[in-house]
Structure 1
């Protein structure tokens, strides 16, 4: 049987990202995958971006050949994704598989390392990012690559570039992952309101519920308010669309809130002016509650 020999040469400090060409996964890439890759001082390269260029297959092969690690999003059983995963395996590349549906992982790949994440879990973004960073760090400790196919030999002296932290340009827009539970307080005139905001981010849109409690005439009132909004670079808008009393106390009524908030540089604080439908103005500040949950990656440990 003839043998095929592949010369790898120098591995660049890149992580080749294989995922469907679908806007659904844009937020996942921007707020989770890219920050995780950059946290281990690698540069992410998206395979789906190459499909707009001529000589697609040659560019994909070049990107896979020089990448140190590959991350593959298998959700949706995309045929291009499976093709590129096969190329990566022929090169002996370490492939980290992620999916939001375990049935989308073929039987032949279930024995490999993969991360399952549940988008119904409000902490899925943070947990997936932490799992990816942990797996990337472990893979980077490995020094040997070997193909899984007989008859193909990966040879050549592999040289590693020195990893450097990626430099951000002024034109680069910050991207924050805001899904989670935020605690804070709202001050309107002389009244202070305690707030608990459960926020869900879907691409550039926001939705969630906010529980507001305050004491008036020594009686506790509690309101639950449905919120919607959108993200605009380093700021976001939120507005109440409906509310209901969990406990009315001495409150004669409640007016839905409108927030225009700035996001802190670390993404863990949002604050700004608030208003309501009656024109009463104030300020509000939220802090992201510390996460205590952490889903472990499934299958083969690293």
Structure 2
């Protein structure tokens, strides 16, 4: 099992990496490594992307609020990579990451090793669940913008592809849930979807999709189409634009008789007004 470590490349962090992280990982049968230990021909950013994508999970040290660490961690979160966050001080944790689990180790390498060992056990279990997940979930999007003198309303069409990548029929699907941080009017087959407040942070709303299939054949796939819309600007608050970039992420959860399977999916859609 491989853990890619993103942290400041400063000698003051050598003990944290070599003793606190690398030795503890080895004791737990995990290979923890940093970019400066690797030999590569491609550009540094491309190498970082490939390591984040190929490793089993990420260990990120947020100490000193290093901008490179935040950038790389943001990419890891965007692709749904499992992350263990550590820091010397809770003051280094940005506001939008405070809900994430952290190890605050101060100046104690011993404390870091103890907490990391427990988190490695958790990570192994989470990765095992992921590897046993028969579903691959992908999201396709397109959208357009409607404007008046008073408001701008965006419509985004979502196609959720659910593939059964296993060599046997999928578990029985009991429900599919769609989580969002913002309130959207979501329709499926022309009908509004029911929703409730979410108990999953940072998402605020949980929508229940209707499904017309209970199982997916081996190596087969099914598709769910949604139509979403929301007013994103009002003239009394800001000037109405003729184009917007809608960015964020949603969370899809598939509930089955064998357990729940989920995936976080990024959304980035450019919308403008129709030319006619």
Per the normalisation by structure 1, the TM-score is: 0.42
Structure (1/2) with the larger helix percentage = 2
Report the structure number with the largest CA radius of gyration.
1
Per the normalisation by structure 2, the TM-score is: 0.46
